[in-house]
């Protein structure tokens, strides 16, 4: 085989850098219900939308947590306000009883406006984290091209 590769160790990809603090239009790409010591939360990942002109398009902000309950009365009201703001941003309205397992399935794919802040962990590593979400001010993402038609001949069975 006669294929040759030009290699330059100084010209390598460094991947995505740290997402700057600020507001970003994002899509929720993963979510899971969590429970620890009787306290409930939603773990979620977001991707900065590429269909809107903004910095860091396509970057993911992983391992975010929305605390749904708090055993500490000092934080209970704040947790409730953030929880309700999150649900409004995801399209829930009025007063309703929500099932956590259903919610985590329904919020995947929702577009929201994320407020991103930096956090530094105990190992002195800095991460971008979603601290608050609000309703998206952008139009929902639209698929490119014509709809895909799947006929009987396309099915394997």
Residue environment code for 97-112, b if the CB has 16+ CB neighbours within 10 A, otherwise e: eeeeeebbebbeebbb
Structure tokens at 90: 């995801």
Decide: helix, strand or coil at residue 71. Answer: coil
Q: Is the pLDDT of residue 131 over 80?
A: yes
Residue 22 CA neighbour count, 13 Å, CB half: 9
Q: What is the C-alpha to C-alpha distance for residues 50 and 86, in angstroms, rounded to an integer?
A: 22
Q: Considering the chain, what is the average pLDDT of its residues?
A: 89
Asked whether the CA dihedral 26, 46, 112, 22 is positive or negative, the reply is: negative
Name the DSSP letter for residue 95. S
Q: What's residue 112's pLDDT? A: 97
The pLDDT of residue 37 is 87
- Three-state secondary-structure class, residue 75: helix
pLDDT at 81: 92
- Res 14 pLDDT > 70: no
Quick one: average pLDDT of 113-128?
95
Given a cut of 80, whether residue 4 has pLDDT beyond it is no
**pLDDT for the residue 29:** 97
Closest CA to 134 of 63, 94, 81, 95: 81
* From 57-61, 67-71, 109-113, the region with the lowest mean pLDDT: 67-71
**What is the C-alpha to C-alpha distance for residues 7 and 25, in angstroms, rounded to an integer?**
37
pTM of the model: 0.80
Q: Where is average pLDDT lowest: 39-48, 93-102, 144-153?
A: 144-153
Q: Is the pLDDT of residue 102 over 90?
A: yes
Higher pLDDT, 7 or 75: 75
């Amino acid at each position: 085989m006669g294929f040759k590769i030009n290699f330059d160790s100084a010209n390598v990809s460094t991947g995505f850098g740290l997402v700057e603090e600020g507001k970003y239009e994002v899509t929720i790409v993963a979510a899971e219900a969590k429970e620890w010591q009787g306290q409930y939360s939603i773990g979620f990942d977001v991707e900065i939308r590429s269909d809107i002109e903004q910095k860091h398009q396509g970057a993911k902000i992983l391992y975010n947590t929305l605390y749904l309950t708090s055993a500490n009365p000092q934080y209970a009201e704040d947790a409730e306000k953030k929880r309700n703001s999150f649900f409004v941003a995801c399209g829930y309205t009025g007063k309703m009883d929500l099932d956590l397992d259903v919610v985590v399935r329904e919020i995947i794919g929702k577009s929201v406006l994320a407020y991103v802040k930096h956090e530094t962990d105990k190992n002195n590593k800095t991460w971008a984290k979603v601290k608050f979400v609000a309703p998206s001010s952008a139009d929902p993402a639209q698929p490119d091209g014509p709809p895909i038609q799947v006929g009987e001949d396309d099915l394997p069975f």
